[in-house]
């Protein structure tokens, strides 16, 4: 009875936009205690009918490209000029939850953090990308239920985090610096082709002409690459936090993408596929967790992995041997 009462409390207060309870629910999602997990899942399942009403935007880019600065300006623009409520989440599998990193996320976006129409949640800590990504996706649903209608998910570009973000957003924006070579420092192969839009940051002052040239080059290059299943050709925008330019153009880009894909049905299909992807991912992670935490497997795995890596035994033979122990 107590539990049901608590579920109702979470549900009612989140739907009323109570950000203290929203934060507590996200903490519940991130908890590794089984009781917390059960409670979190019940809360989310109750809130599911109230989710899905936001624009989900993923943002990535190399260190130094100005991601935080961009997100802060973009968030403020969306609130002030577009009357949006904006939540900012992050996938950073390297972050350790500490006083420092919580403050870190909020201080690096100070003007947005204090805006009553914005909600900034620091990156969840976690051992595995799978866990961190799952926590982020559940936080996204909770933010939608709390009435935020633009959810920005930032990735620091570690490991497979871009793929995880790509599988939970509607629009994926890649931030780039002008200047060949340097522009791509820290961007992994495959990311460019995931992007629905590119934006060249710091396109101001002396840098403006270089940024214009980079835009022309990227536009041309994107033409040479395979078309997206949506039929959308990723545009390349310029922006500057210093001169506060480009934000409207980028929002316009997102709007055009939504119009096109909602009309064609691609938007709905993509969201449905993302839902199924998360179901199958969750099953896969659970099965692998059970397998790799099994005592005998834990004992045998390191030697077999070594033998397989060095081509002393066949991967399939090793897998069969391990599965017999399970």
Binding site for a copy of itself (CB under 8 A): 41-42, 44-45, 48-49, 51-52, 134, 138, 141, 180, 183-184, 187-194, 217-218, 220-221, 223-229, 271-273, 275-276, 278-279, 281-284, 286-288, 291, 304-305, 308-320, 322-323
Which residue, 99 or 229, has its beta carbon nearer to a copy of itself? Answer: 229
Which residue, 158 or 308, has its beta carbon nearer to a copy of itself? Answer: 308
Report the distance separating Cα 178 and Cα 310, nearest Å: 43
Report the distance separating Cα 326 and Cα 321, nearest Å: 9
Which residue, 189 or 295, has its beta carbon nearer to a copy of itself? Answer: 189
Burial class (CB in 10 A: 0-12, 13-18, 19+), 291: middle
Q: Compute the least distance from the CB of residue 319 to a copy of itself, in Å.
A: 3
Q: Compute the least distance from the CB of residue 83 to a copy of itself, in Å.
A: 25
Which residue, 132 or 187, has its beta carbon nearer to a copy of itself? Answer: 187
Q: Compute CA distances 160 → 16, 91, 190, 243, 300, whole Å.
A: 35, 10, 11, 33, 27
Q: Compute the least distance from the CB of residue 170 to a copy of itself, in Å.
A: 14
Q: Could you give the 3-state DSSP secondary structure of residue 299?
A: helix
Closest to 50 (Cα-Cα) out of 25, 17, 78, 24: 17
Closest to 42 (Cα-Cα) out of 18, 61, 14: 14
First to last CA, the chain: 38
Q: Compute the least distance from the CB of residue 98 to a copy of itself, in Å.
A: 26
Which residue, 41 or 111, has its beta carbon nearer to a copy of itself? Answer: 41
Which residue, 45 or 98, has its beta carbon nearer to a copy of itself? Answer: 45
Residues of the chain by 3-state class (helix, strand, coil), percent to 5 = 60, 10, 30
Report the distance separating Cα 206 and Cα 235, nearest Å: 23
Cβ atoms of 85 and 109 closer than 8 Å:
no
Q: Compute the least distance from the CB of residue 325 to a copy of itself, in Å.
A: 11
Angle separating helix axes 67-82 and 247-264, nearest 10 degrees: 70
Q: Compute the least distance from the CB of residue 174 to a copy of itself, in Å.
A: 10
Which residue, 223 or 263, has its beta carbon nearer to a copy of itself? Answer: 223
Q: Compute the least distance from the CB of residue 228 to a copy of itself, in Å.
A: 6
């Amino acid at each position: 009875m107590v539990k049901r009462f608590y579920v109702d409390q979470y549900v009612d207060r989140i739907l009323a936009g109570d950000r203290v309870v929203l934060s507590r629910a996200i903490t519940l999602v991130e908890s590794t205690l089984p009781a917390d997990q059960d409670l979190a899942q019940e809360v989310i399942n109750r809130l599911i009918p109230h989710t899905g009403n936001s624009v989900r935007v993923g943002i990535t880019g190399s260190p130094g490209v100005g991601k935080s600065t961009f997100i802060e300006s973009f968030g403020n623009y969306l609130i002030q000029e577009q009357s949006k409520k904006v939540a900012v989440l992050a996938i950073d599998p390297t972050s350790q939850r500490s006083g420092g990193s919580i403050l870190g996320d909020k201080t690096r976006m100070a003007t947005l953090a204090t805006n009553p129409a914005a909600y900034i949640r620091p990156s969840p800590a976690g051992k595995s990308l799978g866990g961190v990504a799952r926590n982020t996706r559940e936080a996204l649903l909770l933010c939608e239920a709390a009435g935020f209608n633009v959810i920005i998910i930032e990735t620091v570009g570690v490991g497979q985090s871009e793929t995880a973000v790509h599988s939970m957003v509607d629009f994926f924006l890649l931030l780039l610096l002008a200047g060949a070579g340097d522009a791509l420092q820290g961007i992994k192969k495959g990311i460019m082709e995931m992007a629905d839009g590119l934006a060249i940051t710091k396109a101001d002052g002396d840098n403006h002409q270089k940024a214009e040239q980079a835009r022309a080059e990227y536009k041309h290059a994107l033409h040479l690459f395979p078309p997206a299943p949506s039929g959308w050709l990723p545009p390349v925008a310029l922006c500057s936090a210093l001169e506060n330019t480009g934000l409207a153009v980028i929002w316009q880009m997102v709007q055009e993408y939504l119009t096109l894909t909602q009309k064609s049905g691609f938007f709905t299909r993509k969201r449905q596929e993302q839902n199924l992807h998360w179901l199958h991912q969750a099953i896969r992670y659970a099965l692998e967790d059970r397998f790799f935490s099994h005592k005998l497997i834990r004992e045998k795995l390191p030697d077999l992995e070594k033998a397989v890596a060095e081509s002393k035994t066949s991967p399939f033979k090793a897998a069969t041997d391990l599965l017999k122990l399970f």
